[in-house]
Chains A and B, each alone.
Chain A
Amino acid sequence: MPHIRIVEVHEADAPLRAVYDAMLSRPIPATYRPSHGGPAGIIRAHSLDPDLLQITFLATGTFHRGDGLSWAERELIAASASRTNQCFY
């Protein structure tokens, strides 16, 4: 049970639905697509502020860009950081 309200896709108003649709249309690896087919929880966590959601994932998504590390290496760093924080994400 989340600690704050999460606006799910079926409840989303037009602005939030547009942001959700934009997030779902990103070319991302299949492993980043939850089996339920909707936006991942970490995206929906920002649902109370669609502008924040969009700005945040534009900025943070830049970690995928660059030639220095392979995708697997980026995932290794991400998993190591998350595990250190005892977090599933």
Chain B
Amino acid sequence: MQRASPRQRELAGFAVVMTEAPWSIDAADLDRLRAVGVSEDGVEQAICVASFFNYYTRVADGTGITFDYESPLPRLSIDLAREALPRPPPSEWNPAVDGSRVPVFARRAFAQALLEAWHAYHFDRDVLLSRRERRILVRAAAAELCDAGAVARHEDMIPRDAREHALAAYATKLTRTPWAVGAAEAATLRAHGLDDPAILAAITLIAHQNTFSRMHHGLAALATAG
């Protein structure tokens, strides 16, 4: 069996950290990629791939769709009781991270308008979920991602009633332990008056924030001289 190359090991390791502990990504992590020959284009692309797959996995878990690709990988054995890594206290968060803004990648200008449109679709509307409810979801997800800027921007989006508390709790769980989100969590939202289109809106908005906050952690590391 062929062993993974140093470059492959670093890319895989980077993806794991971007997924499990994006708040810990720093210039040294990017220097490790560069040390195995990853170009600056590759570094930005690695941040994007890891971030986008933190969208897809949460949508898959939240909606409960069946996996239907052929895969050569061993079948997963899921530990539903697995806990998320502990988060550092807010006093240790990087203030340069602000996932409430659309990320800008210097070498990926071709994606900018599409990221803007995607962000606007989630935020510039009050159908299915109100604007306030959307921001409650964002704040809850961002808090789990140690996203100082997004939490600060939505600091007043504290749940006020049972429905808002349920939304925030769902965002927290889908962010921290997406593997543990199932039919029961969707049923809880339904019990608070959300229909399936609204539940989809919640799932995809939370997943979207998981992408943007991670991208910003990566961009903050890029902005730090290595």
Contact = CB atoms under 8 A, between A and B. Distances in A.
- Report whether chain A binds chain B: yes
A44 B108 CA distance: 28
Nearest to B15: A80
Given A68-B45, A86-B179, A42 B12 contact: no
A64 to B, nearest CB: 9
B38 to A, nearest CB: 7
B126 interface: no
Given A45-B59, A51-B121, A68 B41 contact: yes
A69 B46 contact: yes
A18 interface: no
Contacts, number: 201
A5 B52 contact: no
A41 B60 contact: yes
Interface residues of A, number: 49
20 contacts: A4-B64, A35-B70, A40-B69, A41-B67, A41-B68, A45-B200, A46-B200, A56-B118, A58-B114, A59-B111, A62-B108, A62-B111, A68-B43, A78-B53, A81-B53, A83-B73, A84-B15, A84-B20, A87-B61, A87-B179
Interface of B: 7-8, 11-16, 18-20, 38-46, 48-50, 52-71, 73, 76, 78-79, 82, 107-108, 110-111, 114-115, 117-118, 121, 178-179, 182-183, 185-186, 196-197, 199-201, 203-204, 211
